Structure 1
């Protein structure tokens, strides 16, 4: 039985992924900042998949608590075979562009908190010479845009971190997959641009799970974002900085 820790388990994509893993027989520990909601998600997954899903809490910005949290989760699961990193927030971009505190809060929730938790989980997986880490990021990290560069910079840094980690762990039998999400229909993206390219959380979870099963390394979700972002990267900086999209 595969033992999986899902971080940010109350997000719509994480909920859908949890059900897919559970339906495939995995034992899950679902963790989020809101412990009550994490417990409700675990109960729902347990009923629908016919397995027992555990739940707990963590704070991405409370770095001192991360080591004990990873140890506790692995202990409750009876081991640890995989970690899925689903948490993050758009934050208040307007405030983050002028307030260092707001900027750092966005960075901690999207990058440094993930780095801390992934590093601790990776150490555990590396020691046992097996396992996987799925890092769910965003196409926003492909290039800095004036309207969301604080969030985008955190997601871009996370992708680079995952890329380096993938290389370091390759010889240890630990697989690292980076997911670059396009626009998904969630509360976090409601009312924002790009609705014509939006997919549902359930569809995103299906695509991510299929990529995990085939051991993909970097996957754009949906696939067409690979070509969209490839075209965007080719735009000269002198022109790109004047674009409003």
Structure 2
């Protein structure tokens, strides 16, 4: 049995991961800001076999509450084996181009709040010399594209931070997994036209996350074929890339 914190527990991918872990009998500590949905998921995961489920209300942009959140999780579960950070927003790129305060808000949500939580979790796990940190980043962070470079910049910051954190914590027995999904059919992508072989369901991505954590993968693209897609995109010379409408 393992004890995991799930931050952003009301997101479609996190909820699907929670169902997998509930079936395994894990203790879960769910963190989110929608009390009604959080309690609904808590009840569902209890029915699905979780050893125990606690719900904790928190806005991730309230950085001063991050430490209290981890302390509450430890008090509720006795120990913490891992943390999955799964929250995020998909910003309106054009609106962010017109407003730096809006761009900053999106970067705070998608990058700085993640870095804050990872810093606290890393220090806690480093002290106990064990633990897992798994974070949902995105393929969007692999290269800046005109269609979503504010979101991509935030995710690129997260991925680079996790790379350094993984290097730092390896000698302490703490593992860090960077998760890079491609197109996922969730409420967050509701404004995007869906369909075709590049799209995956939240359940498919959740299965990939569970396997990646079990294998202690360093970086995982989900579905797997996004690794080759992004390798091609990253290889395009800049003088050609800037002429493309990506």
The alignment's TM-score, normalised by the length of structure 1, stands at 0.96
> What is residue 223 of structure 1 aligned with on the other side?
224
After superposition, the CA RMSD in angstroms is 1.2
Asked whether the equivalents of residues 183 and 195 of structure 1 are also in contact (C-alpha less than 8 Å), the reply is: no
Q: CA deviation at 1:191?
A: 4.1
Asked whether the equivalents of residues 18 and 45 of structure 2 are also in contact (C-alpha less than 8 Å), the reply is: yes
* Cα distance in 1, alignment partners of residues 211 and 168 from structure 2: 24
Seen in structure 2, the aligned counterparts of structure 1 residues 210 and 177 have a Cα distance that, compared at 3 Å, is same
Matches within 5 A, 1:111-126: 111-126=111-126
> What is residue 167 of structure 1 aligned with on the other side?
167
Q: CA deviation at 1:121?
A: 1.2
> What is residue 206 of structure 1 aligned with on the other side?
207
> What is residue 75 of structure 1 aligned with on the other side?
75
Give deviations 1:179-200, integer Å, cap 9, x for gaps: 1110000111124256321011
Asked whether the equivalents of residues 5 and 83 of structure 1 are also in contact (C-alpha less than 8 Å), the reply is: yes
> What is residue 110 of structure 2 aligned with on the other side?
110
Q: CA deviation at 1:240?
A: 1.0
Q: CA deviation at 1:25?
A: 2.1
Q: CA deviation at 1:77?
A: 1.6
> Secondary structure at 1:147's aligned position in 2?
coil
> What is residue 154 of structure 2 aligned with on the other side?
154
* Cα distance in 2, alignment partners of residues 179 and 43 from structure 1: 27
Asked whether the equivalents of residues 185 and 194 of structure 2 are also in contact (C-alpha less than 8 Å), the reply is: no
Asked whether the equivalents of residues 24 and 50 of structure 2 are also in contact (C-alpha less than 8 Å), the reply is: no
* Cα distance in 1, alignment partners of residues 178 and 37 from structure 2: 26
Matches within 5 A, 1:1-245: 1-192=1-192, 195-196=195-196, 197-245=198-246
> Secondary structure at 2:147's aligned position in 1?
coil
Asked whether the equivalents of residues 25 and 50 of structure 2 are also in contact (C-alpha less than 8 Å), the reply is: no
Asked whether the equivalents of residues 3 and 28 of structure 1 are also in contact (C-alpha less than 8 Å), the reply is: yes
* Cα distance in 2, alignment partners of residues 16 and 102 from structure 1: 30
Asked whether the equivalents of residues 35 and 57 of structure 1 are also in contact (C-alpha less than 8 Å), the reply is: yes
Q: Extract unaligned runs of 5+ from structure 2.
A: none
* Cα distance in 1, alignment partners of residues 194 and 187 from structure 2: 14
* Cα distance in 1, alignment partners of residues 154 and 240 from structure 2: 23
Displacement over 4 Å in runs of 4+? none
* Cα distance in 1, alignment partners of residues 193 and 155 from structure 2: 18
Asked whether the equivalents of residues 39 and 56 of structure 1 are also in contact (C-alpha less than 8 Å), the reply is: no
* Cα distance in 2, alignment partners of residues 50 and 206 from structure 1: 17
* Cα distance in 2, alignment partners of residues 244 and 194 from structure 1: 19
Give deviations 1:183-239, integer Å, cap 9, x for gaps: 000111124256321011001101111111111110000110000000001111111
Q: CA deviation at 1:52?
A: 2.2
Asked whether the equivalents of residues 92 and 102 of structure 1 are also in contact (C-alpha less than 8 Å), the reply is: no
Moved more, 170-179 or 42-51: 42-51
The alignment's TM-score, normalised by the length of structure 2, stands at 0.96
